[in-house]
Amino acid sequence: MQDSFDIAIGRCESISGNEVVVELEAAMVSRLVPGHPWHRNGTSKLEVDLALCSRLRPPQAGRETFLSREAILLDPSGRFDLLGDGHYTLVRLQPLAANTEPQPPNPTIKTPWTERPSHRRSRD
């Protein structure tokens, strides 16, 4: 069974009809355009379909926007404005979910305090 969760991508600028405009965090921009020079958060904008947003945390203007990881893995597209100058281009959204596979925690085996090397008494 695959876990489903949401991915935070930036601040919601506006909601209009079935579209949401998000001011992207720099980390999300680097996923969409690897190697692009860093811009401050909110410079780049992404317009996505409202259906891609989290059902548990629907978008609200001025608040963090969450996308459904499950929906993003279906490889939808959005409109991306890299420089924040109003020039939008189509972009695949699947990279936003890159490296988000849930990792089970590795249990650590702890050595009892008295058995740790620094606490053992030397036997002469």
In tens, the pLDDT along 28-75 reads 998 998 887 777 777 899 999 999 999 999 999 999 999 999 999 999
pTM reported for the whole predicted model: 0.74
For residue 92, the cross-strand partners are 77
- Number of folded domains in the chain? 1
What residues make up the domain containing 64?
Answer: 6-97
Cα gap 59→72, rounded to integer Å = 16
* 3 state DSSP class of 121: coil
Residue 81 falls within a domain, yes or no?
Answer: yes
Residue 103 falls within a domain, yes or no?
Answer: no
At 1, is the pLDDT very low, low, confident or very high (cuts 50, 70, 90)?
very low
Residue 95: per-residue pLDDT = 92
Residue 25 falls within a domain, yes or no?
Answer: yes
Residue 106 falls within a domain, yes or no?
Answer: no
Cα gap 3→22, rounded to integer Å = 25
